[in-house]
Chain A
Amino acid sequence: MAQEAIVQSAVPTRHVPMAARKAKQQRWIGRTILYLVAIAASLLFMLPFAWTVFSSLKTPSELYVFPPTWLPNTPQFGNYAEVFTVAPFGRWLWNSVIVAGISTFGAVFSAAITGYSFARFRYPGRNFLFLITLSTMMLPAEVTLIPLYLLFNKIGWLDSYKPLIVPAFFGGGAFLIFMMRQFFMTIPMDLDEAARIDGASYMRIFMQIILPLSLPALATAAIITFIGDWNSFLFPYIILNTKEKFTIGIGIKYFQSVASNIDSMEPRENLLMAASLMMTAPIILLFFVAQRYFVRGIVMSGIKG
C-alpha cells in the first residue's frame, strides 16, 4: 500500500514540458487500458456468481424460460428456507462446522508441537525425520485412501466423524508442520534460553512464549486448514454413509441428485444454487474477516517453499 502512495505522488503535475506531457498522456492511456482490463477480468470472475445468485431467487418455471433472463420477476427468498426442508441442510452445515472446527484445532495445535520439536531441539535423526515429513507432501491421497478406509472399517469407525477428526490431532500434516517450523525459527532463541535459566520447562516455554508470539502464524494455519476441511470431499464421501451425518460438501452432491430426479417433475436448480451459495458463503465471509492472515499464509508457503 505504501508503495502505491509513493508511485502516485511521484508524478509531477505543474509546468510540464511538451515531451513530458506526451509521456504523461501515454501513461494515462496505458493506465486506462489497465483499469479496463482489470474491470473486464473482475466481471468474468464474478458473472458466474451473479448468475447463480439470480438463479437461486427464481421460481422453478422461470429457470427454464427461453430466452433466459437474468433477473427473477419477484425474488424468491423463500427458496433459501426451502433448502432446509427439502434436505437436512442445517444438519450438514452444523456437521461441517463441528468437524472442521475440531479437526482444525487438533491439526494446528499438534502441528505447532511438532514444529516446535523440529525448530528448537537437537536430537539424533531430527533432520532425517524432517525430510521424511516433507516428502510425505508429495504422496498422492489416492495411495493412503484405500488402506485408511480399510483401517477405519476394521476398527468400526466408518460412518462416524472419528476418521475425519482423530488423525488431525497427530501432527496435522506435513504442510502445517513445515509452516510452523519455519515461523518458530524466526523467533529469537534468546527468549527460550532466558526462560530456561529462569527454570521454565520446555512445555511452559512453548505455551507461554512460543505460542503467544506465533498468533499470526497460528491464525493463518487455522484458516487454511478450516477452509480445506470445509471443502474436503473425497475422504468424507467414502467414510460417511448416513444422510444425516453428511458434511456439507457431500451434502451438495446428494442434493444435486435429489434436485435432478426427485418424484416431482419440477426443476430444482434454484434450490441447488441456493444450497451451493450457502456452502460458499461461510468461506467467503471467513476470507473477508481474516484476509490478511490468509494471504500471508499463501505467500509464506510460496516464498519459503
Chain B
Amino acid sequence: MAVRTITPKPGFNMRKREAFAGYLFLLPWLIGLTCFVLGPMIASGYFSFTKYDVVNAPEFTGLKNFQDIFTKDRLFWPSLMLTFRYAIIVVPLSLIGSLLAAMLLNQALKGTAIFRTFFFMPHLTPIAASAVLWAWLFNPDVGPINYFIRNNLGIADAPGWFRDPQWAMSGLIIMAMWGAIGGNTMLIFLAGLQGVPQELYEAASIDGAGPWAKFRNVTIPLLTPTIFFNMVLGIIGALQVFTAAFVATAGGPAYATWFYSLHIYTRAFKYFEMGYASALAWIFFFILFVFTFIQFRASRRWVYYAGEGNE
C-alpha cells in the first residue's frame, strides 16, 4: 500500500488535495483580508466621492471632496507640511541616534545587557502614557526641564513647550526621540552590526585604515540594507504620527501640532464627514505610496546587498 503513494498517477490526485488543503488553511485570512482590509478599502474609495454623515445614506458628489480639500480646506496644506516637517526632522535624527546607540552597545562593554535595557525602556512605554509623562516634564512652571534650563543654563526666558505654538513641535520631537533612539531601530542596527564579518575589519586594518575609514568604508556600506529598512519604516511611522500629538497637545496650541492624521480624525469622528475624511485618507495613502515607491527606486543607487542572490 505504501508504494501507491509514490506512483505518479495518484500523485496528481495528491497535488489536488494539497491545493485544496492549502486554500482551506488560507481561508480565515482570505475572509479577514476581504472583510477587514480590501472591502473597507473599496468602500472608503467609494465614500471619498460622496457626502456621508453616517445618519443619511451616502450621496454621490463626484470630485467635490477633492476640490474642497485642495481649494477650501484651510488646514489641509498646513497639516500636510507640518507632518512632513516632523518626519524630516524625526527620521534622520532617530536613525543617526539609533545607529550611534547600536554602535555603543556593540563595543562589548561590560553590562551591555543592562545598558540595552535602559535604552530600550522608553520605547516600551505606551505612547499615551509617554505623552502624559512628557506633558508633565515639559510643564513650563514646575517641570524639571525648564528648571534645568533656567537654573543650570541660565536662560531666564525658558520655552513654554506644549503651551507655546513656537515650541510645541520641538517638544513632540524630543519626546519621539526619547522613545525611538533606543527602540526597535537600534536593535535592528545592532543585529546588522553583528552581521558584519570581522575579517573585513581585519583586512581594513592591515591596509592601514583608522576607525573612521573603517566606519565609512566597511560598516556603512554593509549596513545600507538595514539603514534602508529602518528608513522606510521610520518614514511611514513618522508620517502617521497621531497618538503623541492627540494626547499631549490635542493638535494645538493654535494648530501648531495639527498633524495630518489628526485632521482626518477630526473630520471623520468629530464632524462625521465620512466622505470628506475618506478623501483625505486616500490622498494620504497616495502620498505614502509615492514616497515609498521613490525610496525603493532610489535605493538601487545606494543600498548594497552583500548576499545578492542567496535566497
Bits for B107-149, please: 1 = Cβ < 8 Å to A, else 0: 1111010110111111011111110111111000111100100
Chain A positions within 8 Å of B230 at CB level: 302
- Contact of B109 (CB < 8 Å), options: A38, A124, A253: A38
Q: Are B289 and A138 in contact (CB under 8 A)?
A: yes
Assuming the A-B contacts A51-B137, A276-B132, are A142 and B264 also in contact, with contact meaning beta carbons closer than 8 angstroms in the complex?
yes
* Cβ < 8 Å to B, chain A residues 227-253: 227, 230-231, 233-234, 238, 248-250, 252-253
A141 touches B31 (CB 8 A): no
Let me know if A85 is at the binding interface, CB within 8 A: no
Scan A265-305; emit 1 where CB is below 8 A from any B CB, else 0. 00001001100110110011001100100010011011101
Q: Which stretch from A12-20, A39-47, A75-83 is at the chain B interface?
A: A39-47
Q: In the assembly, what is the distance between CA of A4 and CA of B110, in Å?
A: 8
Contact B247 A253 (CB under 8 A): yes
Bound-state CA distance A65–B141 (Å) is: 10
Residues B172-199 near A (CB distance < 8 A) = 178, 182, 184, 187-188, 190-192, 194-195
Known: A35-B109, A256-B247, A280-B129. A138 touches B292 (CB 8 A): yes
**Interface membership of chain A positions 60-77, coded 1 if the CB is closer than 8 angstroms to chain B and 0 otherwise:** 000111111000000000
Contacts of B121 in A (CB 8 A): 45-46, 49, 284
Q: Of A37, A124, A140, A279, which contacts B284 at CB under 8 A?
A: A140
Asked, given contacts A150-B54, A252-B128, A252-B129, whether A142 binds B188 with beta carbons under 8 Å apart, the answer is no
Which residues of chain A come closer than 8 Å to B191, judged between CB atoms? Answer: 299, 302-303
- B40 CB, min distance to chain A CBs, angstroms: 4
| 8 Å CB interface, B91-118 against A | 101, 104-105, 107-110, 112, 114-115, 117-118
Interface stretch (choices B21-29, B153-161, B200-208, B213-221): B21-29
Q: How far is the CA of A209 from the CA of B247 in the complex (A)?
A: 46
- Chain A CB count within 10 A is highest, among B108, B195, B265, B288, for B108
Q: Which residues of A contact B119 (CB under 8 A)?
A: 41-42, 45
Tell me if B151 counts as interface (CB < 8 A to partner A): yes
Once the chains are docked, how many angstroms separate the CA of A132 from the CA of B33?
9
Chain A, 1-24, contact with B by CB distance < 8 Å: what is the 0/1 string?
A: 001100110000000000000000
Is B68 among interface residues, defined by CB-CB distance under 8 A? no
Partner of B15, one of A55, A122, A129, A146: A122
- Find A147's partner among B44, B226, B261 (CB 8 Å cutoff): B44
Query: Considering the chains assembled together, what is the distance between the CA atoms of A16 and B201 in angstroms?
Result: 24
Contacts of B284 in A (CB 8 A): 140, 142-143
Chain A positions 125 through 153: 1 when the CB is less than 8 Å from some CB of chain B, otherwise 0: 01001001100101111111111111101
Complex interface: stretch among B70-78, B162-170, B274-282, B297-305: B274-282
Q: Tell me what chain B mostly uses at the interface: helix, strand, loop, or mixed.
A: helix
Contact indicator A121/B19 (Cβ below 8 Å) = yes
Report yes or no: A122 in contact with B18, Cβ–Cβ below 8 A. yes
> Which residues in B have their C-beta under 8 angstroms from that of A248?
126
User: Number of contact residues on B: which range applies?
Assistant: 35 or more
Most buried by B among A7, A35, A206, A277: A35
Interchain CB contact under 8 A, B126 and A280 = yes
Q: Do the beta carbons of A37 and B37 come within 8 Å of each other?
A: no
Q: Is the CB of B19 within 8 A of A123?
A: yes
Instruction: Say what secondary structure dominates the interface of chain A.
Output: helix
B285 an interface residue at 8 Å Cβ cutoff? yes
B60 at the A/B interface (Cβ < 8 Å)?
no
Other A-B contacts than A41-B104, A114-B26, 8 sampled, CB-CB below 8 A, are A66-B141, A117-B26, A124-B19, A136-B37, A149-B269, A150-B47, A170-B33, A233-B126
The 29 sampled A-B contact pairs (Cβ below 8 Å) are A4-B112, A38-B105, A41-B104, A41-B115, A45-B122, A48-B133, A51-B137, A110-B32, A121-B25, A122-B15, A133-B29, A133-B33, A140-B281, A142-B281, A143-B285, A144-B41, A145-B268, A148-B40, A149-B269, A151-B43, A169-B32, A170-B36, A234-B243, A234-B265, A273-B132, A276-B129, A276-B130, A302-B184, A302-B188
Show the binding face of A for B, using Cβ within 8 Å: 3-4, 7-8, 31, 34-35, 37-38, 41-42, 45-49, 51-52, 55, 63-68, 110, 113-114, 116-118, 120-124, 126, 129, 132-133, 136, 138-151, 153, 167, 169-171, 177, 196-197, 202, 206, 227, 230-231, 233-234, 238, 248-250, 252-253, 256, 269, 272-273, 276-277, 279-280, 283-284, 287-288, 291, 295, 298-299, 301-303, 305
**Chain B positions near chain A (C-beta within 8 angstroms):** 2, 5, 15, 18-26, 28-33, 35-37, 39-41, 43-44, 47, 54, 101, 104-105, 107-110, 112, 114-115, 117-122, 124-130, 132-137, 141-144, 147, 151, 178, 182, 184, 187-188, 190-192, 194-195, 226, 229-230, 236, 239-240, 242-243, 246-247, 261, 264-265, 268-269, 274, 277-278, 280-282, 284-285, 288-289, 292
